[in-house]
Amino acid sequence: MNFDIELVGKIGSMALIREAEHDINYNVFSRIGRELRPGMIWVSSGAVEIGRLDYIKRTGCELAGPKSDIMTDYSAQGQAILMEEYRRYISPKYSVRQLLVEHTHFNDLEKREHIYEFLMRCVKQNAVPIVNYNDTVSFEENRRWELEQLRSNGHERIVECIDNDETASVIATLVHPKYLLIFTSVDGIYMDPKDPTTLVDRVEGKDADEVIAHINELQKHCFGASRSGAGGARAKLEFIKEPILQGTTVMIANSRYGISDVLSGNCPRTVFRTR
């Protein structure tokens, strides 16, 4: 099978900070950055939380006011730092490009095509794209109104991208990568989330439909999320179904490991693939 891209990867906000020290986790940026190269697309959360920590560091207090305004202001402050850290650790022989996306971009065929062409040019031009949801301009009230308008106009499949797990899966569906890697705070998917010995090593089937059937069973064992606003394991499993149907191998692993370690199987992980 031919693939347009080697890998689409995603990392969440909490993996990029040291919560106890209220600071950025530079080791994670370094570990990821040194492995990123053209042919890889990296979806990175973190702008809001990093902007929040930076604001507190500079002022000694948090912002007050409407949540949508606070998210906008923290995101705008954090985006610059987020990109600065990726640029710091990605090899200087590669260009680094930021792509800020919103749900509307993937619900419009022309915009989807424009994003696809941009990402394909990155490969040819020796560039690594860093993708994040555009929290700076897309606030909740407006997003809900736009999504409702799409539903009322008869759109059957609507992309929301509220969670960057979904953003990564939507991009993987768009660019058809060999691998989709989702970094999380645990080693993968568990039959019993309270028992680390129940890690599911692999989910395989003779075809994509059989893999999806196994995923449907796994979703019955998934409860809760690592933080407020996150979809949790059940949502991750839902988002990865479309890439799997297109032939992509999906891996869910702990962000304390490197990209190459996950791809080569040198660490715990859950792999979803057809045999």
Number of neighbouring beta carbons within 10 Å of residue 259: 22
Q: Which tops the pLDDT comparison, 17 or 148?
A: 17
pLDDT, residue 153, reads 59
Q: Kindly tell me if the per-residue pLDDT of 167 is higher than 60.
A: yes
Contacts of 148 by beta carbon, 8 Å cutoff, 6+ apart? none
User: For the packed helices 67-89 and 47-59, what is the interaxial angle rounded to 10 degrees?
Assistant: 100
pLDDT, residue 220, reads 86
Structural domains present in the chain:
5-274 (3.40.1160.10)
pLDDT, residue 253, reads 96
Section 146-173 average pLDDT:
70
pLDDT, residue 134, reads 75
Alpha-carbon distance 54 to 74, whole Å? 9
Residue 255 zone, left/alpha/beta (φ > 0; ψ -120 to 50; rest): alpha
pLDDT, residue 223, reads 66
Is residue 194 classed exposed, middle or buried when 0-12, 13-18 and 19+ CB atoms within 10 A define those classes? exposed
Q: Which tops the pLDDT comparison, 144 or 188?
A: 188
CB-based burial, 141-157: b 16+ in 10 Å, e otherwise: eebeebbeebeeeeeee
Q: Kindly tell me if the per-residue pLDDT of 243 is higher than 90.
A: yes
Which tokens belong to 132? 């994040």
Section 126-144 average pLDDT:
73
Alpha-carbon distance 110 to 148, whole Å? 20
Average pLDDT over the chain, rounded to an integer: 88
pLDDT, residue 155, reads 56
Q: Kindly tell me if the per-residue pLDDT of 230 is higher than 50.
A: no
